[in-house]
Amino acid sequence: MNPVRLIGRAALSLTRGIGAVTLFTLRGLFRLRPFHGRAFGAQLVQIGWLSLPVVGLTALFTGAALALQIHSGGARFQASDVVPAIVAIGMVRELGPVLGGLMVAARVASSIAAEIGTMKVTEQIDALVTLSTDPMRWLVTPRLWAAVLTVPVLVGVGDIIGIMGGWLVGTQSLGFNSTAYLANTSAYLERWDVVSGLLKGAVFGLIVAVCGCWFGIHSGRGAAGVGRATKSAVVAAAVGILAANFVLTGLFFE
């Protein structure tokens, strides 16, 4: 086939895909009436509360490992003392949102895609329509808003736990004084560091929920179709988070 035609077809397909996902996201976010409060509450628990253990554990071990790395790396140029500041800035600006987002992607995007995909193949989505309920408003809107609102909270909690992981390692094995460690942490941490991380969390939450809902609703038939939808949702969410992180970091700190 003509290579120009191939490129043109790919460009058209990509544009169509981006347009479709954008419209899907806007409809999911802003078709609020009637708002299904019960479904929203359930998603706050599912996406937010139940992701807390995995995000917390990830942050704890990341903060602890970061402290060890900065201490041993910093020793090469007599800068071991910067451990509290680097752990805090690294966690809050970058590792907290990105790793928290990736953990939520693994846990939530897969579960949303599998749940909605199964609902599709077992005609539960058709059943919603027959019960005068718009599947977008019932399934998508609550998940999108729950993710946008809870992932920043998870990131905030993860930041605190990550910093405490660094503090634990710093005071228990690297010989830092506890009060000095915490004082250093707060002295070098700026408000924008925290806010930018939380904003990233909101964007990552949206990416996770959109990927889960999109691939779930467009799931193929049968168990294989749901399996493919789940895999695609996690991969797309993870890549989307890393790409968005690059863009947002450039936007916030350049």
Partner 1 sequence: MIQVSGLRKSFGGKPVLSGVDLAVGQGESLCVIGQSGTGKSVLLKCILGLTQPDAGQILWQGRPLDRRTRPAFMARFGMLFQGAALFDSLTVWQNVAFRLRQRMPDAQARAVAIEKLARVGLGPETADLMPAELSGGMAKRAGLARAIADDPAVIFFDEPTTGLDPIRARRINDLIRGIVTETGATAITITHDMDSVRAIGDRVALLQDGRIAWEGQVPAMDHAAPLAGFLGNTPPL
Binding site for partner 1 (CB under 8 A): 34, 42, 115, 118-119, 122-124, 126-127, 129-133
Least distance to partner 1 from the beta carbon of 118, Å? 7
Residue 223 and residue 100: Cα distance in Å, rounded?
Answer: 29
Given a contact cutoff of 8 angstroms between Cβ atoms, the answer to whether 245 and 125 are in contact is no
Shortest Å, Cβ 34 to partner 1: 7
With respect to partner 1, which residue has the nearer C-beta, 20 or 251? Answer: 20
Nearer to partner 1, 136 or 235 (CB): 136
Q: Which is nearer to partner 1, 118 or 184 (CB)?
A: 118
Could you give the CA distance from residue 139 to residue 175 in angstroms, rounded to a whole number? 51
Instruction: Compute, in degrees rounded to 10, the torsion defined by CA atoms 118, 120, 124, 129.
Output: 160
CB 86 within 8 A of CB 193: no
In angstroms, the Cα distances linking 144 to 110, 134, 151, 207, 251 are: 14, 15, 11, 9, 23
Residue nearer to partner 1 on the CB measure, 1 or 131: 131
Give the nearest distance from C-beta 16 to partner 1 in angstroms.
18
Output the smallest distance, CB 134 to partner 1, in A.
10
